[in-house]
Chains A and B, each alone.
Chain A
Amino acid sequence: MSIAKASSRPRPKRPQVNSSSFDTALGWQPGRTATTLLRAAVCAIILFVFAGPILTIIAGAFDLNPDPTRLTLIPRNPSLENFAVATQRGIWGFFWNSLLIAGFGLLLQIIVAVTAGYALARRKFRGQAIVLGIFLATMMLPEEVVAVPLAVVLGDLPLVGISLRGTIFAVILPVAASAFSILVMAAFMRDIPDEIVEAATIDGASEMRILIEIILPMCKPALGVVAIFGFIGIWDQYLLPIIAANRTSDYMITVALASLRADVQVGTGVLLAGAFLALIPSLIVYLLLQNSLVRGITSGAIKG
């Protein structure tokens, strides 16, 4: 790659035959009124279909008494009343549970991914293939498949004999180790040139220091991928918070929405206020780390 770039001779000029029509598969052309209009219409429909339902959550949450039969994109009677009712129903407690679990779960997941990824990528040791096999095998053991026995294990941890149920650890620990995160970190660390690490070693840096001060700062793109997939994955948890909870007050906000819906005394607006709160954190993370997300999705899919 670098060799090809280095010899950047002036290219022979090719005759330009309206090449912009070959930029996209459908041959969209910029600046032509007819196609531009068509394209605008297409974009409007797509926005309505995919972003519309999300926008109705926001509009309904701030609408005094939204009619479940007539959703709109703009609140008719703007008010914060829904949030006041949702507060009475303890929505902030569930929100806090979710934030705590997502925050600590993600932190732990990153630590585990960095340490395990480092060991896999930068060290050679006996049994490396077996460890890798174990990590890959866990991808075939999704939480749904082990949910029933996991409920038993969470109630009485083997060997240590303590019960995690009802504590945030019952959700944090099962989501803390993710084979996907470990493999992303390992793949990225493998590409860090040896020379940099060698230079630091000669300077007398310890292994831990090399990991934290040299390798980690170079892994920022991978950390972004791990962070966004980790956060969205943990925030999306539904089954695990149910089986890990002792009481309904232990629920994450995703699960609490269903009980809010079942409450006949609250209306659609309060439910949407809860949905709005459950929506905001993942939205923020998505907007902050968008590029990592695209990188993560495409690296996982195109490479294979």
Chain B
Amino acid sequence: MKPRKATRTWLSVLAVVIAVVYLFPVYWMVSSSVKPAGQITSLEYDLIPRGFTLDHYVTVLAESDFLIYLRNSVIVTLSAVFLAVIVGLFAALALSRFRFRGRKGFVLMVLIVQMAPFEALLIPMFLFMRDTNLLDTLPALILVYWVITMPFTLWTLRNFVNGIPIELEEAAMVDGCGRFQAFWKVTFPLLGPGLVACSVFAFITAWNEFLYALVLMPSGSGQTLPIFLQSFQSVFGTDWGATMATSTLFMLPVVAFFAIVQRNLVSGVTAGAVKG
């Protein structure tokens, strides 16, 4: 549909206004994190920072345990994503490249599991980790995030493997490759966008997770960044400058991740949806 030129201009103006309003919280977070303390706690009205300081970042990095929490978050998230992708990929291959008894049942199970609210398993999960002495240890969170992210990863990868014609592998096998070799050399490289897309989703899920981190780390050792950020305010009073600096630092890995994979991400998100 090609709207008339005047309509188009007005729609563009509207879109820019929406974009500005939408970005405001992001802008407000970053700009508050570099504002001098005096401006943060002033009653004057100002949308633009007067002056620039990295004091809040110094406070966070040097005077708090931010780096310990960051380390925990990185370990937990990367381990969970790695496990979910590897195990999900194996299962996706089984479902998409083999016909075997029980296949349909498993597919159905993954579908149902994907729909289930994982939060409802809070109590048994807490008791399970307590009984196995895993409370307050990083493996507890790794296990939970692994199983939260795996059904989705498995499902996405299955769709991607289905999208790669099996004839490619068969041709390689006719040329003398073994089945494993054929997969490794032919199909696996084509799976790149799929692996990236589901890793990003798994990464964001694990990086953000709050409820299980709160419950499975009762003593606070081995806590992750979301918990740190939430408790930060009470620890520092309401040092909004430091809180905004922490929030910005917390967002950086996600933005970096998005920037690196954005091309694959878009093709992954819209795979199947945009055709024709």
User: Do chains A and B interact in one complex?
Assistant: no
**Which residues of A pack against B, CB within 8 Å?**
none
**Which residues of B pack against A, CB within 8 Å?**
none
